[in-house]
């Protein structure tokens, strides 16, 4: 005899997740947040951001008083970085970084009394498969040039010909001197233009240091805490790799947007009601 059964509706957490995801899709994501393309889990790295001190005091007891540090084993130096924001340390000068951009440096190291930027904000938060990474770019120039020889400047100076001697008469000498003077002005102008072009080409070819931070889940750490370690650098000293373990890298369900109370939830449900299969019974052979 056939038995009347009903399909099992999704659990409350699953339904709320769908509702909140729909509501969140109508607004852009906050900075340094991302949804996993494979699991749809929500990641927010902002709790790891070290904020500047206010009047040289911490806003909260557990706040950090300095940026995150990583010991550069085998590099002869240590690294300083922040998550999703510039470092809070004051940097007065960095190699080949404009003064107006010093406040954007998000990772750096010091070597022989010089500061090298290895990336600045804004960051790029990306997923490669299931791997969550944070990327900073546009740091100081890499140690290895793109080419073995820098661009050279063309030399268009006129060489003296064999007939340019001192035996000509005064009028010829005067005419020749005037002509040579005009030619030299043209040559000097060509050299100046070539020099500017060469400098521009050289600037365009400069590769700059960058940072890649791979994040891993660690549920044993308290919120806002992290273990940051240096992994290595590319042979040309252009890219620096770090690994950060944190609870923020575990992902979860995005909290409901502000203003989405019970009325908002039922409003969303009215727009997208449960499927008919959840409410209409069907006969199942026993």
| Arithmetic mean of pLDDT, 239-244 | 97
The Cα–Cα gap between 250 and 217 comes to: 4
| Arithmetic mean of pLDDT, 184-190 | 57
Using one digit for the tens of pLDDT, what is the confidence trace for 92-112?
Answer: 999 999 999 999 999 999 999
Write the DSSP symbol of residue 58.
-
Q: Which residues pair with 191 in a beta bridge?
A: none
pTM: 0.63
- Would you say residue 171 has pLDDT above 60? no
Is 132 strand, coil or helix? strand
- Would you say residue 282 has pLDDT above 50? no
| pLDDT at site 176 | 56
- Would you say residue 85 has pLDDT above 80? yes
Asked whether the beta carbons of 213 and 134 are under 8 A apart, the reply is yes
Asked whether the beta carbons of 227 and 214 are under 8 A apart, the reply is no
- Would you say residue 127 has pLDDT above 70? yes
Using one digit for the tens of pLDDT, what is the confidence trace for 3-54?
Answer: 555 555 555 545 545 555 554 455 678 899 999 999 999 999 999 999 998 7
Write the DSSP symbol of residue 123.
E
| pLDDT at site 244 | 98
Asked whether the beta carbons of 207 and 234 are under 8 A apart, the reply is no
């Amino acid at each position: 005899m056939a038995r009347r059964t009903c399909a099992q509706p999704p659990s409350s957490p699953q339904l709320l997740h769908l509702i909140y995801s729909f509501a969140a899709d109508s607004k852009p994501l906050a900075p340094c947040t991302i949804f996993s393309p494979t699991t749809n889990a929500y990641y927010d790295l902002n709790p790891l951001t070290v904020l500047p001190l206010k009047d040289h005091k911490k806003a909260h007891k557990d706040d950090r008083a300095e940026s995150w540090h990583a010991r550069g084993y085998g590099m002869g130096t240590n690294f300083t970085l922040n998550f999703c924001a510039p470092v809070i340390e004051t940097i007065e000068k960095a190699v080949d970084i404009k003064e107006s951009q010093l406040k954007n440096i998000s990772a750096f190291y010091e070597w022989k009394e010089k500061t090298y930027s290895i990336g600045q904000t804004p960051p790029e938060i990306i997923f490669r498969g299931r791997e969550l990474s944070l990327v900073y770019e546009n740091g100081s120039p890499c140690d290895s040039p793109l080419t073995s020889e820098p661009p050279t400047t063309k030399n268009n100076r006129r060489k003296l010909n064999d007939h340019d001697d001192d035996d000509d008469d005064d009028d010829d000498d005067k005419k020749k001197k005037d002509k040579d003077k005009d030619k030299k002005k043209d040559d000097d102008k060509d050299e100046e233009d070539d020099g500017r072009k060469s400098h521009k080409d050289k600037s365009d070819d400069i590769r700059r240091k960058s940072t890649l931070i791979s994040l891993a889940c660690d549920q044993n750490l308290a919120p806002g805490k992290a273990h940051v370690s240096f992994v290595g650098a590319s042979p040309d000293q252009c890219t620096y790799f770090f690994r950060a373990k944190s609870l923020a890298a575990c992902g979860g369900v995005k909290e409901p947007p502000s203003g989405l109370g019970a009325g908002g939830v039922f409003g969303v449900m009215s727009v997208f009601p449960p499927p008919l299969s959840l409410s209409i019974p069907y006969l199942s052979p026993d």
